[in-house]
Structure 1
Amino acid sequence: MTKGPITNNTMRVKKMNQELVRQTLKTMKQGTKSMVAQATGLSVATCRSILLDLLDAGELVELDLEESSGGRPAQIYKYNENYSYIVCLMVKAGIDHHSISYAVVNLAGETVEKGCEMTEIEQMNEAFIYQLIDRLIENYPHIRAVGIGVPGAVHQGVINVSDIPNLVHVPLAASIREKHGVEVIVENDMNLTVYGLYQKQEYEDEKSIVVATFIEGSFPGAGIMIDGHIHRGNTRFAGEIAFLPLGLTPDEQFRQLHNRDTFHPLAARAISSLIVVMNPETLALTGSLVQPADVDIIRNECQKYIPEMHMPQFRLLDEPDEDYMYGLITMTLESLSYALELVEKRR
């Protein structure tokens, strides 16, 4: 009666140990079974068995033997960073056209191929995304995860609010996962941007930061990190500051955001709301509507509502796309850490 649960538990422990060894070697770059055992706390025998399994699967490569100090020289193992790949897609809304910037990345986070596909606004739909993914997976059969960043709110892999109406209510994650048997994440662009910024800073302590974006032709949005974790909210709607009750119709809000005479006070009201609720350490501004001089102007406007002692550090995010892609790559790689046995339908 207990055979099934014991077997399942044993398999789960084995997979957890495999992942521990896998992540340890990635961090160490290379090592012997004794070095891996010391780093993981597992027995040398367990590490030897796992290392041989990973070697047989192609996840590891053997390097030269370790220099002997009198005994039998030990084998040095290195994680095969090109064992599999991920593909990351940044879907972006524009005024005259929409675009997808993509990167095929190995397990070390190194870009193997990158590019950008542009399309007419009405042609940005799920078919355009699926065709790009199909092509990339055909060229790189060892892709095991797909990450998609989108301008909009995402709940359970489905976009429900977006600057690209054709993608609303489309089950992107489920469709790609079913067709290709890969891990799939679909995430809000601002969540990925703030996550990328946070990860690149390598904070020693968990911090709270916010990135707010004001882009020409779009409504504003924000990405929020609270105590080192992305704050998405109950239905993944957190950060959609365009929906703040500012007493304006959407059309009037859009007009004021695109008018330099009204942009600063309106942006400051939205940002002040974020400061009051989140009390972040850092608040980064970005987007084509934000000029370098606007940072101090908006900060001064916020001081009309917020006492100085509670004001965060304001900064301009110079290269938001770099943070966006870094966050997308990091999060997509992390999605593989717990997906230990993917159904590889195409192999």
Structure 2
Amino acid sequence: MENIGGNALVIKEVNINLVRRVLKEKKQATKKQIAETTGLSIVTVGTMLQHLVQQNEVLEGGLSSSSGGRPAQQYIYNVDYALALILFPFEKNGLILIRHTVVNLSGHCMHEAEVKVEIIDLATFEKIIDPLLIAYPSIQALGFGLPGAEYDGEMIVSDYEALLGISLTEHFRNRYQKPVVMENDVNAAVIGFCNRTQAAPDSAIVYLYFPERFPPGAGLYINGKLYKGKRSFAGEVANMPLGIPWGEESLLASFDLLCEAIAKLTVSVSSVLNPDSVVLYGSFLQAEHVHAITELCSTQLPASAMPKIILTEDFAADYLKGMIVQTLSTLEPNLQLTK
């Protein structure tokens, strides 16, 4: 949160943000209701609402019912005032595709499609983004979901060779003059899972993702925040020297070997992070795998350190939800007055 001193323009912006937040939470409210919630005077609330209505960020609704007094004007936050565009590549049946989704400020999907591409590079993304910005001129933020890691503005780890060493977020921020966020797949998935399940703010959750052809990755959610580490390398669990042949067909073909490998990884991360829950996803994982993994872990961890092991069945939904949350967060003003 940005702490700022007090002058007339800054105070006005803070007051606008207070009114904005109340309307987002309540969906609709009267001046009096907003004033009671924010502590602002009705006159100040009226001035802020006038500004927001002029900007089309707030809409005038109907009149509230009254038990005798004059009906009051209802105000509604316009969730279509700004939109966000989320893009992420994935593979299906040997093809490379990019999924692109446009959402409004409530996260409601306005447009969604998949396009087959030959290569993942900056030009490929631009060919998708440019026409979407024309079709949806209210798009105000871009989010990219990519396996890999960015440090000091450059892609230091990526499954796509053409992106290595590229300043992806800076490039698109300069090209489109809009906020840009880049997140890797499993980091976005843990955010989406925690948001969807309303994880407690003080919880610690590890999300382990097991692709069929690549080594696993982890997303770490600690005390209500995504944890990336000093150089955004946290969660690269494939580098842990556990002697596990990740990605080999022989591992996936054996129920026992697979459960032993995942249990070994789960015990390792649990011994370091002591999470409340370890969430597992792999298209090949079933409930019986989770039962066996839980049994193996319970023989190696004390009961007080044993996490709840959960199987999530929709990685794509967790991934998209996390990207929506991260991208929309760039459009949230975060101001606070200090003395």
Name the structure 1 match of 2:41.
Answer: 43
- Select between 317-326 and 68-77 the one with higher mean Cα deviation: 68-77
2:259 is the counterpart of 1:264? yes
Name the structure 1 match of 2:291.
Answer: 296
Displacement of 1:267 in angstroms is: 2.6
Q: Measured at CA, do residues 95 and 71 of structure 1 come closer, stay the same or move farther in structure 2, by a change above 3 Å? A: closer
Task: Determine the C-alpha separation between the residues in 1 that align with 2:317 and 2:166.
Answer: 27
TM-score (norm 2): 0.89
Name the structure 2 match of 1:178.
Answer: 174
SS at match of 2:330: helix
Give the number of aligned pairs. 330
Q: Measured at CA, do residues 20 and 320 of structure 1 come closer, stay the same or move farther in structure 2, by a change above 3 Å? A: same
Q: 8 Å contact 2:212–2:247 — kept in the other structure?
A: no
Name the structure 2 match of 1:227.
Answer: 223
Q: Measured at CA, do residues 71 and 309 of structure 1 come closer, stay the same or move farther in structure 2, by a change above 3 Å? A: closer
Q: Measured at CA, do residues 10 and 189 of structure 1 come closer, stay the same or move farther in structure 2, by a change above 3 Å? A: farther
Query: Given residue 262 of structure 2, which amino acid in structure 1 is its aligned partner?
Result: A
Q: Deviations 1:76-110 (Å, cap 9, x if unpaired)?
A: 11111111211112333567232222211111211
Query: Given residue 50 of structure 2, which amino acid in structure 1 is its aligned partner?
Result: L
Q: Where in structure 1 are there 5+ consecutive unaligned residues?
A: 341-347
Q: Measured at CA, do residues 37 and 228 of structure 1 come closer, stay the same or move farther in structure 2, by a change above 3 Å? A: same
Name the structure 2 match of 1:284.
Answer: 279
Query: Given residue 87 of structure 1, which amino acid in structure 2 is its aligned partner?
Result: L
Query: Given residue 47 of structure 2, which amino acid in structure 1 is its aligned partner?
Result: S
2:253 is the counterpart of 1:255? no
- Select between 59-68 and 231-240 the one with higher mean Cα deviation: 59-68
What is the aligned counterpart of 1:200 among 196, 202, 210?
196
Q: Percent identity?
A: 34
Would you identify which runs of 4 or more consecutive aligned residues in structure 1 move more than 4 Å? 68-72, 256-259
Q: 8 Å contact 1:183–1:339 — kept in the other structure?
A: no
CA-atom RMSD in angstroms: 2.4
SS at match of 1:42: coil
Query: Given residue 14 of structure 1, which amino acid in structure 2 is its aligned partner?
Result: K
Q: Deviations 1:17-67 (Å, cap 9, x if unpaired)?
A: 212211210111111111111111222122111100010011111112334
Q: Deviations 1:219-248 (Å, cap 9, x if unpaired)?
A: 210111112211111111111101112357
2:201 is the counterpart of 1:209? no
Q: Measured at CA, do residues 300 and 151 of structure 1 come closer, stay the same or move farther in structure 2, by a change above 3 Å? A: same
Q: Deviations 1:270-306 (Å, cap 9, x if unpaired)?
A: 2222111111111111023434322223333334532
Task: Determine the C-alpha separation between the residues in 2 that align with 1:213 and 1:76.
Answer: 46
| Greater RCO (Cα-Cα under 8 Å, separation 6 or more) | 2
Q: Deviations 1:189-246 (Å, cap 9, x if unpaired)?
A: 1111111111111245521111101111112101111122111111111111011123
Name the structure 1 match of 2:136.
Answer: 140
SS at match of 2:156: strand
Q: Where in structure 2 are there 5+ consecutive unaligned residues?
A: none
Q: Measured at CA, do residues 286 and 257 of structure 1 come closer, stay the same or move farther in structure 2, by a change above 3 Å? A: farther
Name the structure 2 match of 1:245.
Answer: 241
5 Å-filtered alignment, 1:151-162, equals 151-155=147-151, 158-162=154-158
Q: 8 Å contact 2:216–2:246 — kept in the other structure?
A: no
